[in-house]
Structure 1
Amino acid sequence: MTHAQAVWTMVGCSALWSMAGVVTRQLDHAQGFEVTFWRSLFTLVSLLIILPLWQGKDFWRSLPWRNPYFWISGVCWSIMFTAFMVGLTLTTVANVLITMALAPFFTALLSWVFLKARLPLRTWVAIVLAGAGIAWMYGSQLSLNDPNFVIGTLVALCVPLAAGVQWTFLQKSQSKGPVDLVPSVLLGAVISSLFMLPVSWPLQGSAHDVSLLALLGLFQLAIPCVLAVICARVLQAPEVSLLGMLEVVFGIALAWWGAGEAPQMSVLLGGSMVLSALLMNQYLGWKDNNV
């Protein structure tokens, strides 16, 4: 995969990830932990079909059980799967997505500490500009006096923290020699499903709810998460994180259009700053690569 192909693939992944908020708002009965359980379960089922078909009959024997990065990555995926959906049931889509957009800051910091990465100036400038946009958006949400804002934000904060660890150690694992961490997405789904089932019982979701969460399991998690891991072999960790921030813009727009969660003007302006920072970073990256 070329750099340009990886960039566009990550844009597509962000678009698929952004479905979660608007689809969750269409549920009838499923709430809280049950929502997370069903989505993780269907992600697991989807990957049990997709990965062996894609990687062949030796898939199970090739799993890197003894590789610590495999387990680190799997735990990170499980935290991201769980905290995101629980956060959505506690506060607005915009609050969760804005909090998630802190991922590039954590990723850049962890890359600097653990990988001794020397990031291009353009990437640092993009992070600063995107951070300003996030702060603007975040400030507007504080004024809404959402009673669940604090707990919802704290839960959602686990997502960018886990993402920062994920992308940093995924890149570090490649420097130690080629290792396939795509199956770690499957491991994450297993862990999330096992931990969510006891706290979700008794299950109350309707057939309508389960079908929507099955849709999320396949198209919002299984497919884009596998593609994101592949992209991370080509892109730098902070670059993956920055492109993943497009989910903020896409997700708020979809929640506005499909669920009636209209954001304030400051949220729209802040989102524009985030998008502009991403476009600037990628344009300068392509320009440097073509010199």
Structure 2
Amino acid sequence: MKSGISNPIIRIIFWSILVLWGVSVIYPLIFTFLDSLKDNGQFFTKMPWSLPDFPLLWSNFTYVWTEFSFGTYFLNSIVVTLGSTLLGLFLAASTAYVLARYPFKGSNGLYLFYISSMMIPFSLALIPLFFLLNKMHLTNSSFGLILVYASTLIAFGIFVLVGFFKTLPKEMEEAASIDGASYFGTFFRVMLPLAQPGLITVGIVNVLNIWNEYIIGTIIVNDPAHYTLPVGMAVMQAQMQYRTEWGPLFAGLLITIVPVLVMYMFFQKQIASGITAGAVK
């Protein structure tokens, strides 16, 4: 008996849906790229989705990078994203490992406490968080942003990694202990490498969230030297005031979204395997 997917009509419908879905995802990126190569005159005299005139205005990218300090914002985003992701991963992985492999009285309650924090809107904590960081002199600094972002990543990391660590064979820990490895040696040399798919999955999700985060960066940082890319985009539009330069705006948007798209393309297989690996024991 043939499966449904082997039916030519069903196969055509299936692939048509996939093609339409792919076009709906790719078209906004193409639209953004084409519009980043135009000047204002082309936006007002032609349809927005028309092709740009020659010569193409590659200078829009240079203009945004230099005149609106996107080079500084880009570097700040990289530092904050990498720093908070690595710190959040370390805290989440170490906590999840203890909860999964060394249960103690109250460990289930502690796990539920972490998970329940994911249901609380972070916006409720913005005002007390600002006063706390201001009292600790951590506002207007990349280090303050790293601490805040890392703390917001721990609950999700624990949620994913606890189930993942439970699937790892206990014999690996026993073999490491026989070889004389300490608890820390077993964790860093044996368990973390085995948990790499789960770590990559959590890391990619966290990078996407931090790279695109706007509200926390706006409230905690008001020094242009420490702005991240989402905040820089809003500042650039505000500085243009009544004369919006659409070409540079699309160029800035493209600079903001391309790095995470490239990263996702390289790690999409690890993300898929990490999501499913922790669910099957």
TM-score under structure 2 normalisation?
A: 0.29
Q: Which has the higher contact order (CA 8 A, sep 6+)?
A: 1
TM-score under structure 1 normalisation?
A: 0.29
Higher-Rg structure is: 2
